[in-house]
């Protein structure tokens, strides 16, 4: 039963992190959003990844989606600042 709950939690966490893909698209199209939420997610996901690795038996259910969250949040932060600097170039990109 615990494995089923673990997999459901992993899938829901991945879905949650992929909601940032739309914000990344907007950032690349010259409509940059805030960098505050992705920075918070990087810190939160990093803490969870560290916790998962420090457990006596590593918890991959916690580590995997949070590692993905770190990657997606970093991409989001980069595109926020890149979109602010390159708005004219970003408008040429069509998603």
Q: Tell whether the model's pLDDT for residue 87 goes beyond 70.
A: no
CA 54 from chain center: how many Å? Answer: 22
- pLDDT value at residue 45: 94
Tell me how far apart the alpha carbons of residues 76 and 28 are, in angstroms, rounded to a whole number.
Answer: 10
In CATH, what number does 2-88 get?
1.20.1280
Q: Is the pLDDT of residue 89 over 70?
A: no
Contact criterion met (CB below 8 Å) for 29 and 47: no
Enumerate the domain spans of the chain. Answer: 2-88
Q: Which residue has the higher pLDDT, 24 or 50?
A: 50
Q: Is the pLDDT of residue 90 over 70?
A: no
Give a three-class secondary structure readout of the chain.
CHHHHHHHHHHHHHHHHHCHHHHHHHHHCCCCCCCHHHHHHHHHHHHHHHHHHHCCCCCHHHHHHHHHHHHHHHHHHHHHHHHHHCHHHHCCCCC
Q: What's the pLDDT score for residue 40?
A: 92
The pLDDT of residue 67 is 96
For 27-79, how does the pLDDT look when each residue is reduced to its tens digit (9 = 90+)? Answer: 888 888 888 989 999 999 999 999 999 999 999 889 999 999 999 999 999 98
């Amino acid at each position: 039963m615990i494995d089923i709950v673990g997999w459901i939690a992993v899938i829901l966490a991945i879905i949650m992190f992929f909601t940032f893909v739309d914000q990344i698209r907007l950032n690349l199209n010259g409509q940059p959003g805030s960098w505050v939420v992705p920075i918070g997610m990087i810190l939160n996901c990093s803490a969870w990844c560290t916790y998962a690795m420090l457990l006596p038996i590593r918890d991959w259910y916690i580590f995997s989606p949070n590692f993905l969250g770190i990657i997606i949040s970093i991409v989001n932060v980069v595109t926020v600042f890149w979109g602010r600097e390159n708005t004219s170039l970003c408008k040429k990109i069509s998603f």
